[in-house]
Amino acid sequence: MTNRYADRRLLRHLGDFPYIWLFFLILGGAAVLSSLGHWGAAKAAGLAAALLLVALLLTKPMNAVYGLMGATGSIRLFFAMFLLISLVFAGVYQLGFFRDAGISYDVNQPHIDYGLYAGRTREPVTVRESVRDTVVYERLEDGVPVRETVVRETSEALHYQPVSFWYTWRNTLLTALMQEPADFFATASTHNAAMDPDRAPGAAAGRDASLDRQKADAFQYVLIFQILISWIFFGVFISLLYSKFRHEL
C-alpha cells in the first residue's frame, strides 16, 4: 500500500510539474550525446534545455520551484531533492564534459584538455609542450636605433590526470553549497588560449583547441543554471526553516 501511494504521489508530482524535469531530461540527453562524440547535436539539445528553463522561470516561476522542491514543505524531501539535483548535475558534467578530459596542474593556471582521453585508457598522461616566446630588443649603433627580434622556444612536460566522477560530484556539491563555482569548476569554465596549438608550435598532436574553447563556454552556461537552481534551493530552505520555527514557537 505504501509503495502504491508513493508511486501515485510521484506520478502526480510529475504530472503537475513536468517542465522542470523535461529540462533535466533534455540536458541529460545532451550530456549523453556529448559522451558519444556528437558534440553538434549536444550543443543543440543543451540550447533547447536552456531556452525551456528560461521560459519556465519567466512564465511559471513557482511551477519550477515546486517541481524542484515539491509542494509539501517537508525538510526531509527538500534534502532528498537537493542531493538528487546535485547528482543529476554531476552526471551531466561527467558525461558531457569530463568523460574524456584530463587536467594538469603543471602550469600557473591549471589546464583542462577536454579530449585528451578520447580513445585512451584512463591512466596519467605526460604531454610535452613547446612554448615560443618572441622578445624584441632595441639598441643604438653609432647613433642609429637597431631593433632585433629573438625567438626562444622552450619545452616542458605536462602531466595530465583523468577526472573521476566522484571528484566531479564533490565539486558539484561544493558549488551548490557555496553558490559559486568551486576552484576546479572555475578552471573548467576558463579556456587557457595561451596553450592552443596555434600559439604553441609543437604542442600535443591531436588537441582540438576549438573543442576546448566550445566546451569551456558550454560548461560555464550549465554552471550558471546550477548556481541559479542552488540559489533557489537556499531561498526555499530559509523559508522552510522560518515556517517551521514560527509554527513551533
User: Nine-digit cell at 201?
Assistant: 608550435
130 domain residue, yes or no: no
pLDDT tops 90 at residue 194:
no
Task: Provide the mean pLDDT of the chain.
Answer: 79
Tell me, yes or no, whether 67 lies in a domain: yes
- For the chain, percent of residues with pLDDT exceeding 70: 73
pLDDT at 156: 66
HSE-up of residue 107 (Cα within 13 Å, Cβ side)? 21
Q: Is the pLDDT of residue 137 over 70?
A: no
Mean pLDDT of all residues in 153-172: 84
* Least-confidence region, from 120-129, 170-179, 205-214: 205-214
Mean pLDDT value of segment 71-93: 84
pLDDT average, residue stretch 18-23: 86
| Structural domain includes residue 13 | yes
* Residue 140 in domain: no
Give the model's pLDDT for residue 17.
Answer: 76
pLDDT, tens digit (0-9, with 9 covering 90-100), for 28-78: 999 999 999 899 999 999 999 999 999 988 998 888 888 777 666 677 777
Predicted confidence band at 242 (pLDDT cuts at 50, 70, 90)?
confident
The pLDDT value recorded for residue 21 is: 86
The pLDDT score that the predictor gives to residue 117 is: 85
pLDDT at residue 10, as a whole number: 59
Q: In the predicted model, what is the mean pLDDT of residues 150-168?
A: 79
The residue with greater pLDDT, 130 or 211, is 211
Residue 220 is predicted with a pLDDT of 93
39: domain range? 2-124+156-248
Average pLDDT over residues 162-188: 92
More confident residue, 209 or 191: 191
Residue 154 CB neighbours (<10 A): 9
Nearest to 106 by CA among 156, 154, 163, 168: 156
Of residues 244 and 49, more confidently modeled: 49
The answer to whether position 198 is within a domain reads yes
Tell me how many domains the chain contains: 1
Whether 22 is in a domain gets the answer: yes
pLDDT of residue 204: 44
Across residues 10-29, what is the average pLDDT?
81
Closest to 106 (Cα-Cα) out of 87, 123, 129, 89 = 129
Residue 144 belongs to a domain? no
On whether residue 215 sits in a domain, the answer given is: yes
